[in-house]
Amino acid sequence: MHSFMAFDPYGGMDMNMKHYIEEAEQELMHTYSRYQIVFDHGDGMYLYDVEGKKYLDFAAGIAVFALGYNCKDYNEALKVQIDKILHTSNLFYTVPAIEAARKFNRISGMDRVFFTSSGTEAIEGAIKLARKYYFKKYGIANSQIISMDHSFHGRSMGALSVTGTSKYREAFEPLIGGVVFAEFNNLDSVKELLQQNTAAIIMEPVQGEGGLYPATKEFIQGVRALCDERDILLILDEIQCGMGRTGTMFAYEQFGIKPDIVTSAKALGCGVPVGAFAAVERVAAAFEPGDHGTTYGGNPFATAAVAKVIELFEQERLLEHVNQVAPYLEEKLDMLAGKHACIVERRGMGFMQGLEFKMPVKDIVPKALDKGLVLISAGANVLRFVPPLIVEKEHIDAMTTVLDQILSE
């Protein structure tokens, strides 16, 4: 056995926030406009930076940390798995992957699941599965996919191809072909795009990056009916709005429908990078060995996280908590919208809420951070509220007070 001593390039001296940020700007690719904070640790609803300042978190790592920070049962499950095995590849079976698959299929109503390392990869897999299903059925490869304007599905080439915001796509074209965009919540616009070779329709039940727009029941049920009539696959992207955020495990449950393929990530692992796409049996059967794969996806560590997350959701009755407390968040955000003329409206579902402003919100977020409150935007004019699902009324009151102060100033 060898013992290793960690190399400390700073000679054991603590670096302050400024020095960390300077080094990050030198070493990392400039793909993010980061806020000037270096976070160190978290506990419950709170984050702490490297200088010890405390922040109330209403972003949850962009809707990831559903269980809050430093959840002891979750941490312990991961520590146990670390001591067992982290990786074997998908050439072999592992118990955590089997348990996670069984639990995910049960909560989603799907029949088979494929675990990925991210939400973007889940979208890639869903696109491939839809096109393989169409190819297997008709022997034709040039199938069409209908997506929605203002949608966001990820930044890899396939996921970008179905993302309905041109500013994300234009520098990277040509992307994958055969993708067209309908108007969200406009069923006629979907019907106008239907072709004989339409393989799938993909959408978010609640658009996140696009501005916190929920689908209407009439629209999503109408799309489901169109898909049933023409044997088109319905792919629902529940990466942000799923895993309890809207008050049901998946948002589509509230619309009385079920997709043919669903994607999941973010809160699925509550901090561990993991995603999934799952399908009903007739669709999943289109994939054969060699059609899709991943080295890290579904490894024992990631799937141990998934299995524990689902267990804790049920053990802690998180869905009940969301349904009890989310109306209070809506009430407080409605109060702010009524009080401040700069706010256009509130919209959203459950703990996935947005306030639309008449002006860009880029100055509000740093002011909130100065006051110890973490908020994020969704586009230029929308403040997004996606707190850990453990949030209580007292946290909502504290957030409201800070935001009210900022808007009053």
For the chain, 409 residues long, give each residue's pLDDT as a single digit of tens: 333 333 344 443 356 888 998 999 999 999 888 889 999 999 999 999 999 999 999 999 999 999 999 999 999 999 999 999 999 999 999 999 999 999 999 999 999 999 999 999 999 999 999 999 999 999 989 899 999 999 999 999 999 999 999 899 999 999 999 999 999 999 999 999 999 999 999 999 999 999 999 999 999 999 999 999 999 999 999 999 999 999 999 999 999 999 999 999 999 999 999 999 999 999 999 999 999 999 999 999 999 999 999 999 999 999 999 999 999 999 999 999 999 999 999 999 999 999 999 999 999 999 999 999 999 999 899 999 999 999 999 999 999 999 999 999 8
CATH number assigned to the domain comprising residue 349: 3.90.1150.10
Residue 61 is assigned to a structural domain of this protein: yes
Would 6 be classed as within a structural domain? no
Same-domain check for residues 183 and 302: yes
Tell whether 306 and 403 lie within a shared domain: no
Domain boundary among 258, 280, 315: 315
60 shares its domain with 200:
no
The per-residue b/e assignment along 131-156, b for 16 or more CB within 10 angstroms, e otherwise, is bbbbeeeeeeeebbbbbbebbbbbee
Which pLDDT score, from 0 to 100, does residue 15 have?
Answer: 67
Query: Could you give phi then psi for residue 44, rounded to 5 degrees?
Result: 65, -120
- 51 domain-assigned: yes
Burial of 91 (0-12, 13-18, 19+ CB in 10 A): exposed
What are the structure tokens assigned to 242, written together?
């799923």
Residue 168 lies in a domain: yes
Does 224 reside within a domain?
A: yes
The residue from 315, 344, 375 where one domain ends is: 315
Within a domain: residue 278? yes
Amino acid (1-letter code) at residue 181:
F
pTM of the model: 0.94
Identify whether residues 292 and 189 lie together within a single domain: yes
**φ and ψ at residue 202, rounded to 5 degrees:** -120, 135
Specify the DSSP class assigned to residue 69.
B
**What is residue 16's predicted lDDT score, i.e. its pLDDT?**
87
CATH number assigned to the domain comprising residue 222:
3.40.640.10
Residues of the domain holding 262: 73-315
156 and 35 share one domain: no
Examine residue 9 and state whether it is found in any structural domain, yes or no: no
Domain boundary among 315, 342, 362: 315
Residues 240 and 349 in one domain: no
Identify the CA nearest to 205 among candidates 149, 144, 246.
Answer: 246
Residue 195 falls inside a structural domain: yes
Q: Which of 89, 127, 60 is nearest to 271 (CA)?
A: 60
**Cα angle vertex 348, ends 67, 275, to 5°?**
45
